[in-house]
Structure 1
């Protein structure tokens, strides 16, 4: 007697319709180029956040956030902010992240403002890819579309529960663009994919005009932490 029941004949399976890929989505059939750079975004006596594993594609890049907290620094109110680490979804004291392109476009993980459902335009799409957490550590990935323009690429963080108002770190976007040039397309997207069930990810991004003369220099790329 066999444990598993026989599978039905293949002809009885109904394949799910395959949808067309949104222009801002991360491609499936591309091996990314790698940026050999590690960014220590913040480090205090009680907390640290770093960015690493930057991998670039022709249409954008992904990276991993590593957040750590001393056990003695855990908040005594509300739920565990570090385990959620999703901006305002985790509470107003939680870890918030953002980035700023050289042309003034910016995006955050707050969940608002956002570019809508499937909109592209000139917006920066900053999309969480999930992650894992323990009581005092969190590792999570993000996808960013499009590639940053030439110039400084600034990453921002604030973590009120850990006494961090706002910090930033800047890299040259050229390293991301050069890595994207090394990406390898394995197969073309299937031209027969349909529009049925098109993606409805809610993006967390916003387009903004160029900074004005009164812009705080500490918030611009290259500004002070």
Structure 2
């Protein structure tokens, strides 16, 4: 008796899949906090960065990574700030809203970074400092943010600058001890020493069925058949 369905199985499409194994850190300290690999040192330097009658922008703590830091910043208000705290209040735009909440940093050597610009993660190390604000929740009256900053400051003053015209907060500068921040980096602890590298011919590996998907930095997967008797990565 012949088969009713005459077509054979189709080849499965190739697509990225979630990693099932943690591989070694890729070394790009300027893109994101290495939170999967490092327990940061924490400096509990809570203090206001800017305020008006009904609104306070405050630094709650600083997380120090081996080559970067994260400012934990919360905006407090007596009236509702947002309907959804996950949207945040610091907005990177191509055309900055100079009436909205702006935050920036000024290094001792004169270099600077701010939320005025869009900081896109890059494969190569950037020449200028990187500042990237990410909302992390809260409530309608207390909205929390992480401000990722790379690189670590040198010894000397690190100035945080805040302005929010719509909330009547003028440009306000707060000076932090850059040397103390840099010194704290030595206390950041590595979680998984000796992890294997996720690299084959310079490209990250993803397994899909009986093939290995090599995912270039620009995100388009390409396939390579596994050779008999060889494990991926050999």
The TM tier, using the shorter chain, reads: 0.5 to 0.7
- Note closer, same or farther for the CA distance 1:20–1:182 as it changes in structure 2 (3 Å cut): closer
- 1:220 equivalent in structure 2: none
Distance 2:144 2:98 in 1: 20
Residues 35-44 or 46-55, more deviating = 35-44
Distance 1:122 1:156 in 2: 21
Higher relative contact order (CA 8 A, sep 6+): 1
Aligned residues: 181
Kindly report which structure 2 residues correspond to 1:150-189, keeping only aligned pairs within 5 A, or say none: 150-188=155-193
User: Equivalent residue of 1:87, what SS?
Assistant: coil
Distance 1:98 1:60 in 2: 15
Is the contact made by 1:63 and 1:143 (CA closer than 8 Å) also made in structure 2? Answer: yes
Question: Unaligned stretches of 5+ in structure 2?
Answer: 1-16, 205-214, 219-234
The two structures, once aligned, show a CA RMSD in angstroms of 3.1
**Deviation at 1:20?**
3.6
What is the TM-score of this pair, normalised by structure 2? Answer: 0.65
Question: Unaligned stretches of 5+ in structure 1?
Answer: 1-13, 201-225
Kindly report which structure 2 residues correspond to 1:118-197, keeping only aligned pairs within 5 A, or say none: 118-188=123-193, 190-194=195-199, 195-196=203-204, 197=215
Distance 1:92 1:84 in 2: 16
- 1:36 equivalent in structure 2: 44
Kindly report which structure 2 residues correspond to 1:73-84, keeping only aligned pairs within 5 A, or say none: 84=88
What is the TM-score of this pair, normalised by structure 1? Answer: 0.67
**Deviation at 1:34?**
1.7
Distance 1:68 1:111 in 2: 24
- 1:52 equivalent in structure 2: 60
Q: Which has the larger radius of gyration?
A: 2
**Deviation at 1:118?**
3.2
Is the contact made by 1:88 and 1:96 (CA closer than 8 Å) also made in structure 2? Answer: no
